[in-house]
Structure 1
């Protein structure tokens, strides 16, 4: 396996043509994503095992969702996709969608906050509860704010100097990855509603927020596809004029492909999320109906008992 040393400052080596094999052969060792993945996965597994040791259950689906999220995060930041994310705008756009949608949604479905509250010792659990009830958490969990950040930040990324700066600076590039994950988490976590976080709203509003994101992704994708100027300034033409030009596609064609990926992937993940929310809504409604049935049954039994006590004849004690 060939490990590629590529930096956002222009130190891109002579990469082979981008294909499925390159995703594996151009794998890189990125220390920070590796540490984050190992620790996050390990702590989650420790929590699940702690629950099982004391006889409590933990939904398998949540563990699978967490594993999918961490795997997607590591693939997006360490596989060949990361090696080409400053070479092909289309590769970057796949990475963008994975980090901003797939990773936050999967991790939110894993319910790590709930797992932590059920397994942490008393004092750390108190600290976590204090954070969850803090004013900052309430502000960051305010749905209109998180929705605005989620739909506006991609426009700010691609239609300002931010994206070109991320191509030329390793630090800005890595901070862009952090930004995509954090903003996606702020938006998805309260809407998924599995963890007890501030900002959780009723299921109809969750579905509405999800549906409202679809036109923004589509419009941004179409806008990028129709741009007459290149995102990133002269970065991609300069690469095309170098040794990679033997196989690199035309920058405008790659940009149109990137816009199509943003449009199609955004709608696809949005529809999947809509299905998840709808299933949660149905399940919640069924549980609420069951609770109401039990309440009515208890009320009916109490009324029958009261009626029996009122109508029962008084019996004098036998002499």
Structure 2
């Protein structure tokens, strides 16, 4: 939450300041500086409470330290609230009034219609997406932070496989490019790119993250907490305890839920909310990532809480999840009318197929991606099964002799 608040403040400042010098030459800039100082002090207070005050309360019940810290935090929050009110009534260096729009695409997306997509354009087109950038950088930082910690005693001190770290970093790179690169630029104006963007997130980026085995890395480097609080270790070790929860966590059910969640983006009003509102877009982005995790975990033989999934259950999950996603692709190609016609059909594009042809193109791309990944995962499952059977035969032979 602290990082998200800081990122949102930086994003707000970037669009309201014309130059860094505005921070010290305008009243608006000085208020931003003061709010930044207060944010740093509040973060320091939270760190001090966690690292020092709570320990003193446990050791000697020194409540005075807690009361002083709480009073200081209340004062800082009150000052920040007052500054926020003053800031909202102060004219920024860059006016908030929007410039007049020149096209329907700009009226709907806040950006002019991009140029026709070409190979050079796809590789060089960028547009900053704060949510995607924060997600990619945050995931990379937390993984590398855990990776740099020393292995716990009793884990053997083994080196963490480079392939797993590479897979995680590659997943973060895909998230960054999909949200900030060409897919992020063309997704608001083309259904095929919009669908491909979320498909790349759910079916490429997230499986790479799952292959990074973050849960195993946390178990290797971070010990469980003993004070009753919850941290990273407790999060990755969580398992459903109720009967309904265990049923929902079954590999086939989990894959079905993930595929259904992805399909719900395009078969319900969620897509419209994601196109027309910023909160809706964040919800859709989160839904795509969560759906991808629900599909990728059973495909790769991983269960919630760190368990393993048997080969037969992986096959069932693969058939169920891939079959549902392929069904969505076929619906988009063969049966459904234009999805969100009030958006994609009125962009005024003079290049590319029309709205219906573009939707069918998106369905074909999704179908090709699903089938390709199904074949790859099927080959991995078959290879893992042959390896385990060979290991079992070898053990049996050793036991006989």
The aligned residue for residue 232 of structure 1 is 340
The answer to which of 136-145 and 202-211 deviates more is 136-145
Matched, 1:182 2:182: no
Q: Which runs of 5+ in 2 are unaligned?
A: 1-104, 226-230
Matches within 5 A, 1:249-264: 249-264=353-368
SS at match of 1:197: helix
Counterpart among 131, 137, 140 of residue 238 in structure 2 = 131
- Matches for 1:241-280 after TM superposition, within 5 Å: 245-280=349-384
CA contact (8 A) 1:138 1:198 kept: no
- Return the alpha-carbon distance in structure 2 between the equivalents of residues 8 and 216 of structure 1: 35
Structure 1 partner of 2:114:
15
Structure 1 vs Structure 2 CA RMSD: 3.0
TM-score (norm 1): 0.79
C-alpha change, 1:144 and 1:35, in structure 2 (3 Å) is: same
Distance change (3 Å), C-alpha of 1:218 and 1:189: closer
Q: Distance in 2 between matches of 1:237 and 1:26?
A: 23
Partner residue in 2 for 1:202: 310
Q: Tell me which of 119, 126, 131 is aligned to 1:32.
A: 131
Shift of 1:27: 0.8
Structure 1 range deviating more: 208-217 or 76-85: 208-217
**Conserved in 1, the CA contact under 8 Å of 2:315 and 2:381?**
yes
Aligned residues: 289
Q: Which of 27, 42, 54 in structure 1 is aligned with 2:141?
A: 42
- Separation in structure 1 between the aligned mates of residue 262 and residue 304 of structure 2, nearest angstrom: 28
Shift of 1:237: 1.9
Q: Does 1:284 align with 2:384?
A: no
Q: Kindly tell me: are residues 207 and 80 of structure 1, through their superposed partners in 2, closer, same or farther at Cα, counting changes over 3 Å? A: same
Give the match for residue 213 of structure 2: 111
Distance in 2, Cα, partners of 1:228 & 1:277: 34
Paired position in structure 2 for 1:73: 175
Q: CA deviation at 1:76?
A: 1.3
Q: What is the Cα deviation at residue 247 of structure 1?
A: 2.4
On the 8 A contact 1:8/1:167 being kept in 2, the answer is no
Cα deviation, 1:211-259, whole Å, max 9, x if unaligned, reads 333333333222211246211122122112xxxx232431111111111
Q: Which residue is 2:99 aligned to?
A: none
Alignment-derived partner of residue 166 in structure 1: 274
- Which runs of 5 or more residues in structure 1 are unaligned? 1-5, 301-319
Aligned partners of 2:107, 2:294: CA distance in 1, in Å? 27
TM-score (structure 2 length as normaliser): 0.64
Higher RCO structure, 1 or 2 (CA under 8 Å, sep 6+): 1
Deviation at 1:160, TM superposition (A): 2.5
